[in-house]
Structure 1
Amino acid sequence: MGKSIVFTVTTDLNHDQRMQRIAGTLANAGFSVTLVGRELPQSLPLKPANFKQHRISCIFLKGPLFYLEYNLRLIFWFLFQKFDIYGTVDADTALAGIITNFWRRKPLVFDAHELFPEMPEVTHRTWVKKVWAWLEEKAFQRSDVAYTVSGSLVHYFQKKYRAPVHLIRNMPFRKPFTPSAPPSTPYYIYQGALNVGRGLENAIAAMASVPAQLMICGDGPLADVLRQQVQDAGLQNKIIFKGNVAPDELSTLTASAYAGLMLLDNQGLSYYYSLANKFFDYVQAGIPQICVPFPEYQRLNEEHEVAVLTNNTVEEVRNALLMLLNEQQTYTRLTQNTLKAREQWNWEQEGPRLVQLYNSL
């Protein structure tokens, strides 16, 4: 057995496809991998995997006390667990990683999946932003290897912290493509967390005059607000809330969708420089998408035109939704382009670079 690696996240492991993919790939490469996440009251039993999984239950479920409690519980757990490599994922587990690295003297890897100080929930809260910025800075300073998910973030982090940062994009595994019969009523799909700045309010409002449905797969802080918006607008027959969906079922739902939604508000550099996994998930499913014209998405769409790029306003989103329904020539072209892009944008192409990074430690 190769070196042991532990990854720490604050997500529910069953729904964290990115970390499941990373942990599984490194386990297949010969590493002994442990993935540590949180256990929520509604968490389902962990699914079998080729790596170890451990969940931590907290008294506090959100806010500063949750993050503090979770990191303290991680540090205490590390007192009785030894690993060759400590993988800290994002600033929200950085405190535990930094402290453990200080006294264990083992390599620390920082996976900067998000630009935490620039997230919409943080960017206008001065003191909260300072705390996350301090943790992020210390994580970069202490790490032996750092990587992130987009070229824009690589440039940002390298310029700010004057340290090398590697690019490991968040791409799905390549899946066999089998065209599915379209449902009787076409539906657009959104997959991901129901958080501030994801464009969901505008998408729901835009659907009022679009002859299709919108399926929302995910959960989060905005769930109740969005359900109330749907009820107030009388759109219960057009907007379908699926909640958190298991990865296999999500793949099936996405492949049967008419198109995907990849909308964000420009509420901080974390979103503006992002490269969300759902962009690639839609491509791998062989469906076009409606996407914001932020730098990474523009760059990829120039390489393979798979999306209608539109600003996140109700009117522009509505126009894009209608265009895909009414202009079949455009829809067909974008669909055909996804079939070409999926051969390049997949984890089989990206994963070996991850393995190479960890082999260098």
Structure 2
Amino acid sequence: MTRRRPRPRLLILSFFDISVDPRVMKQVRLFARDYDVTTCSPGPLPHPDVAHIPLDESWVPDRGRIGNLVDDVAREREWFRWSYRQTPIVKQARRKLRGRRFDVAIANDADAVGVASGIVGASRVHADLHEFFPGLPQPEGLLGDRQRRYWTWLVRRHCAAAASATTVGAEIARRYAEYGVTPGVVTNATHRHDLPVRATGTPLRLVHSGNPFRDRGLGEIMRAVAASTSEVTLDLYLMTHNQVELAAVVELADALGDRIRVLEPVGQDELVETLNRYDVGIHVLPPTSENNSLALPNKFFDFVQARLAIIVGPSLEMARIVREHGLGIVTDDFSEESIRRSLDALTPDAVDAAKRAADAAAHTLSAESQVDVWSDAVAAIVSRRGVRS
């Protein structure tokens, strides 16, 4: 009787709630089929076929007066290794994972890679970097400069030592090469949906989904819709966790008139079907940070799977894909006036053509065409390093 080979044990580590993170949930669903998966993150069990080690985001250890003094000195003198190990969620994850055995780990984002490396060894870690961490927005001054150096240290010290890495776009991957990391690319593509290409009528129905943050350019989009000479409406499905910024968007929508509505957010499992009822997805994201200028977010791919025409600003990655596949319009810049000119030029025939282009590109721009990069990277680690007894 032949013994069945043991399935490799995979740790998927994140310092954010995996159950509401579409990117990490793709990893969980992908690997639960062939690996013994353990997830470790804040939040609930993300999938019935995995084990879960929960982290408490609110937990802060009592460091005492001496410990706090040492932490202050460490920050001032940039003892980054000390500061990293004393970060509450890092300390908690290391404690909860200590003594557990895994054959391979996926660490999501730069701050999780050091913990995963401490558990399985850097040669068994795949780092999935959701943003360009050296370019995260920071306040001006000494504190912001120090924080940028800290993120750069994390990337050079931990991410560059990992066995392999991926990130969300080709331009971000090129930027990481300057820091000793050579990531593959797994975009934030949405799973393929088989949805109809709906005929376009009037008024043209625009839609946006996401967070109500003021640096996302929602004000410019809303004012452009209100001022457009075309018959257009805009529905905004906005997350509710930032009530202050959400209230500001609602107030502006009320002031601009009945072309614009702010609606309750829709769950990820029904979002694409909801978007399919519209004509145009719009996301004109001002380059207020390096990551914003390089962004290629989930919502862009949601629009594709919903078979919508798409309007974006001249952001490097989004503009490239819109032009490559004929998905819609790239505005001249990120201003209200530029958005308004693009809206004024919209016609039902042009929108119908862009919708058909989205349908033609739906498989190429789906998650199914991307996730093999993760599969191959993790399998390569297991092949090289073996399954521990």
The two structures have a TM-score, normalised by structure 1, of 0.84
Partner of 2:206: 188
Change (3 A) 1:219 1:92: farther
Partner of 1:321: 343
**Tell me, what secondary structure is at the counterpart of 2:373?**
helix
Partner of 2:35: 31
1:68-119 deviation digits (Å, cap 9, x = unpaired)? 2222211111114322112211123234234445xx5661111111012312
Partner of 1:281: 302
Partner of 1:172: 190
Instruction: Work out the number of aligned pairs and report it.
Output: 345
Q: Does 2:146 correspond to 1:146?
A: no
Residue 192 of structure 1 contacts residue 219 of structure 1 at CA under 8 Å; is this kept in 2? Answer: no
Task: Find the aligned partners of 1:50 and 1:341 in 2 and give their Cα distance.
Answer: 32
Q: What does residue range 287-326 of structure 1 map to in structure 2 within 5 Å? A: 287-310=308-331, 311-324=333-346
Q: Does 2:348 correspond to 1:349?
A: no
Q: Does 2:132 correspond to 1:110?
A: no
**AA partner of residue 344 (structure 1):** T
Change (3 A) 1:329 1:181: closer
1:50-72 deviation digits (Å, cap 9, x = unpaired)? 433443222269xx99x922222
Question: How far has the Cα of 1:176 moved from its partner?
Answer: 1.1
Question: How far has the Cα of 1:38 moved from its partner?
Answer: 1.9
Residue from 336, 341, 349 that aligns with 2:356: 336
Question: How far has the Cα of 1:360 moved from its partner?
Answer: 0.4
**Tell me, what secondary structure is at the counterpart of 1:213?**
strand
Question: How far has the Cα of 1:148 moved from its partner?
Answer: 1.1
Partner of 2:70: none
Task: Find the aligned partners of 1:166 and 1:334 in 2 and give their Cα distance.
Answer: 29
Task: Find the aligned partners of 2:207 and 2:213 in 1 and give their Cα distance.
Answer: 16
Change (3 A) 1:348 1:288: same
Change (3 A) 1:280 1:118: same
Residue from 136, 147, 155 that aligns with 1:119: 136
Percentage of identical aligned residues:
19
347-356 or 337-346, which moves further after superposition?
Answer: 347-356
Task: Find the aligned partners of 2:181 and 2:113 in 1 and give their Cα distance.
Answer: 17
**AA partner of residue 207 (structure 2):** I
Residue 190 of structure 1 contacts residue 262 of structure 1 at CA under 8 Å; is this kept in 2? Answer: yes
1:267-287 deviation digits (Å, cap 9, x = unpaired)? 232222232222222111100
Question: How far has the Cα of 1:3 moved from its partner?
Answer: 1.4
**AA partner of residue 110 (structure 2):** A
Task: Find the aligned partners of 1:319 and 1:300 in 2 and give their Cα distance.
Answer: 21
Partner of 1:251: 272
Residue 108 of structure 1 contacts residue 144 of structure 1 at CA under 8 Å; is this kept in 2? Answer: yes
Residue from 8, 16, 19 that aligns with 1:14: 19
Partner of 1:208: 226
Partner of 1:81: 100
Partner of 2:115: 96
Greater C-alpha radius of gyration: 2
Partner of 1:56: 55
Residue from 225, 233, 252 that aligns with 2:245: 225
Task: Find the aligned partners of 1:194 and 1:134 in 2 and give their Cα distance.
Answer: 31
**Tell me, what secondary structure is at the counterpart of 1:35?**
strand
1:148-190 deviation digits (Å, cap 9, x = unpaired)? 12111121112x1344321222212211123468899764222
Task: Find the aligned partners of 2:244 and 2:202 in 1 and give their Cα distance.
Answer: 28
Residue 312 of structure 2 contacts residue 319 of structure 2 at CA under 8 Å; is this kept in 1? Answer: no
Question: How far has the Cα of 1:351 moved from its partner?
Answer: 1.9
Residue 201 of structure 1 contacts residue 226 of structure 1 at CA under 8 Å; is this kept in 2? Answer: no
Task: Find the aligned partners of 1:295 and 1:87 in 2 and give their Cα distance.
Answer: 28
Question: How far has the Cα of 1:49 moved from its partner?
Answer: 4.0
Change (3 A) 1:49 1:320: farther
Task: Find the aligned partners of 2:224 and 2:249 in 1 and give their Cα distance.
Answer: 12
**Tell me, what secondary structure is at the counterpart of 1:212?**
strand
Task: Find the aligned partners of 2:15 and 2:277 in 1 and give their Cα distance.
Answer: 31
7-16 or 140-149, which moves further after superposition?
Answer: 7-16
Residue 111 of structure 1 contacts residue 147 of structure 1 at CA under 8 Å; is this kept in 2? Answer: yes
Question: How far has the Cα of 1:219 moved from its partner?
Answer: 4.4
Q: Does 2:9 correspond to 1:4?
A: yes
| Gaps in structure 1 of 5+ consecutive residues | 40-44
**AA partner of residue 336 (structure 2):** V
Change (3 A) 1:225 1:192: closer
Question: How far has the Cα of 1:17 moved from its partner?
Answer: 1.1
| Gaps in structure 2 of 5+ consecutive residues | 1-5, 61-82, 382-389
Change (3 A) 1:343 1:190: same
Partner of 1:131: 150
